[in-house]
Amino acid sequence: MKRHLAGRYRCSYQNGSLWSPPSDQLELVATGVFAKPSLSAQPGPAVSSGGDVTLQCQTRYGFDQFALYKEGDPAPYKNPERWYRASFPIITVTAAHSGTYRCYSFSSGDPYLWSAPSDPLELMVTEFSEATTELTVSLTNKVFTTETSRSITASPKEPGSPAGPARQHYTKGNLVRICLGAVILILLAGFLAEDWHSRRKRLRHRVRAVQRPLPPLPPTRKSHGDQDGGRPDVHSRGLCS
């Protein structure tokens, strides 16, 4: 295969002097002329049946034409997109879309000279049977019903207010804790009041002791001479003869 042999072809046959109409047009494409692009799947190569997936072909070169080919199909899907890349959306995926895909890039100026094929991309479509779906839904409903019956317990006397044994036990425990806390606070208040009262008594005794008047001093004894106004004591003197 040569590059110049790529193009459009038709054929006719001759019967005597008559020629048949030309055949349908055949496009002969030469691949591997340029570097291969890359092919990726968004959101991923594994998709559930009924979902959507987009195959994206991208190249580093300025090509404006792209083709997507699935192994086993008679012809590729051509998609003229913007430069450097093209998107091939697949809406409502089914099991028929599973397979191996490759893409090509080329230019609208030389539509028969294509790049090398991209690396193969395996698209996997998973299907769930109705029996599996019904079983899953049944198990989910059963688990939900069991959890609901465990978490909600209605009182026969008061249907509007759920009061289970766990909640009653929790309420009693809270009441016991509150009572114990109140008793401890009362005891602490009594101890503090008694201590304050005793300190106040001792302070009063000290103040009374400081403010008590001093006892009077004892009177001083005066001499007899001082009582007579300083006169000499004639009785104490001897008489001279």
Instruction: Extract the tokens encoding 201.
Output: 């008594």
Q: Each residue of 81-137: pLDDT tens digit? A: 567 888 999 989 999 999 999 999 999 889 999 999 999 999 999 876 554 445 444
AA identity, residue 12: S
Q: Is the dihedral of CA 53, 37, 72, 27 positive or negative?
A: positive
Domain ranges within the chain, ordered by starting residue = 31-126
- Given this model, what pLDDT does residue 158 score? 46
Number of CB atoms found within 10 A of residue 7's CB: 13
Q: Mean of the pLDDT values across residues 16-20?
A: 93
Contact 1, 24 (CB under 8 A): no
- Given this model, what pLDDT does residue 201 score? 74
Q: Each residue of 181-226: pLDDT tens digit? A: 888 999 888 888 888 888 777 766 665 555 555 566 666 555 454 5
Contact 107, 65 (CB under 8 A): yes
Q: Hey, which residues does 125 pair with through a beta bridge?
A: 47
| Residue 241 vs residue 116, higher pLDDT | 116
CA–CA dist 211, 229 (Å, integer): 41
Instruction: List the CATH code of the domain at 31-126.
Output: 2.60.40.10
- Given this model, what pLDDT does residue 239 score? 41
Contact 107, 64 (CB under 8 A): yes
* Number of residues that make up the chain: 241
- Given this model, what pLDDT does residue 173 score? 76
Beta strands 121-126 and 85-90 are unpaired
Nearest partner of 86 among 110, 109, 69, judged by Cα: 69
* Confidence (pTM): 0.51
Q: Each residue of 28-73: pLDDT tens digit? A: 999 999 999 999 999 999 999 999 999 999 998 888 899 999 998 8
Contact 63, 33 (CB under 8 A): no
Nearest partner of 99 among 27, 21, 41, 171, judged by Cα: 41
Residue 149 in this model has a pLDDT that exceeds 90: no
CA–CA dist 61, 230 (Å, integer): 148
CA–CA dist 197, 210 (Å, integer): 20
